[in-house]
């Protein structure tokens, strides 16, 4: 097996490396949580993890490099369980103690939105749970800004999840709040809800 050490981003926005196996070019997916050869069957592209097929369902939307010059901001989503449990006011108060809310919208996510938010290889049962949960009710979407936001907002997200953790046994994806973990993901995920020109107008660019 010959492996090309150079990583690249493929046409679907995935980090891959070229591998030559038995004289044939193969793509080896290098994800945050899983790695493996990208295979194809009637269900679509997949990688095998612990003898289980995980299918690609993600929709990765490219954006121009100039958006990386936006001022630092983050996307925060209060998921359907936080809305259903009447926690939006309390969670929003925690967020506004540290950050400014630039804009907020209440909406119901559809399948395409969900696959744009989660561009990963999905294990089928996890995918089913994700879609059922994220389409089960309204979500509260916010763009927020403030100091050290990519370190502090995930810390606050984890605090909220711990503080309001449900005592009922549920799937791990049912966890109240989502936020992006870096600027690139904040931009990519925000474009699920806002056009590029809207995002630029609300956030502004570094001078």
CATH number of 84's domain: 3.30.70.141
pLDDT, residue 164, reads 96
Count of domains observed in the chain: 2
Residue 77, domain extent: 65-203
Say whether both 113 and 21 belong to one domain: no
3-state secondary structure the chain: CEEEEEEEECCCCCEEEEEEECCEEEEEEECCCCEEECEEECCEEEEEECCEEEEECCCCCCCCHHHHHECCCEEEEECHHHHHCCCHHHHHHHHHCCCEEEEEEEECCCHHHHHHHCCCEEEHHHHHHHHHHHCCCCEEEEEEECCCHHHHHHHHHHHHHHHCCCCCCCCCCCCCEEECCCHHHHHHHHCCCCCHHHHHHHHCECC
- pTM score, whole prediction: 0.85
Q: Residues 106, 166: one domain?
A: yes
Domain endpoint, select from 35, 56, 77: 56
101 in the same domain as 181: yes
- Say if residue 109 is in the same domain as residue 199: yes
Digitized pLDDT (tens) for each residue of the chain, 207 residues in all: 444 557 888 888 888 998 888 888 889 998 877 889 999 999 899 999 888 899 998 887 789 999 999 999 999 999 999 999 999 999 999 999 999 999 999 999 999 999 999 888 888 888 899 999 999 999 999 999 999 999 999 999 999 999 999 988 788 899 999 999 999 999 999 999 999 999 999 999 998
Residues 137 and 88 in one domain: yes
Tell me: do 14 and 71 sit in the same domain: no
Same domain, 51 and 85: no
> Are 45 and 6 in a shared domain?
yes
**Same domain for 181 and 133:** yes
Whether residue 110 sits in one domain with residue 37:
no
Asked if residue 18 and residue 106 are part of one domain, the reply reads no
34 and 82 co-located in one domain: no
């Amino acid at each position: 097996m010959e492996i090309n050490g150079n990583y690249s981003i493929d046409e679907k926005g995935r980090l891959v490396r070229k591998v030559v196996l038995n004289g044939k070019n193969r793509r080896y997916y290098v994800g945050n949580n899983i790695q493996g050869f990208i295979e194809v069957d009637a269900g679509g592209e997949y990688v095998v993890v612990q003898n289980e097929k995980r299918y690609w369902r993600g929709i990765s939307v490219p954006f121009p490099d100039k958006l990386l010059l936006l001022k630092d901001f983050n996307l925060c989503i209060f998921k359907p369980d936080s809305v259903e449990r009447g926690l939006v006011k309390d969670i929003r108060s925690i967020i506004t103690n540290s950050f400014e809310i630039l804009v907020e919208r209440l909406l119901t996510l559809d399948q395409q939105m969900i696959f744009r938010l989660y561009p990963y290889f999905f294990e089928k049962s996890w995918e089913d749970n994700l879609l059922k949960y994220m389409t089960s009710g309204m979500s509260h979407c916010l763009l927020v800004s403030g100091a050290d936001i990519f370190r502090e907002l995930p810390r606050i997200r984890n605090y909220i999840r711990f503080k309001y953790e449900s005592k009922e046994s549920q799937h791990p994806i049912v966890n109240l709040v989502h936020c992006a973990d870096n600027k690139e993901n904040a931009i990519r995920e925000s474009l699920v809800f806002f056009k590029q020109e809207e995002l630029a107008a609300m956030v502004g660019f570094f001078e």
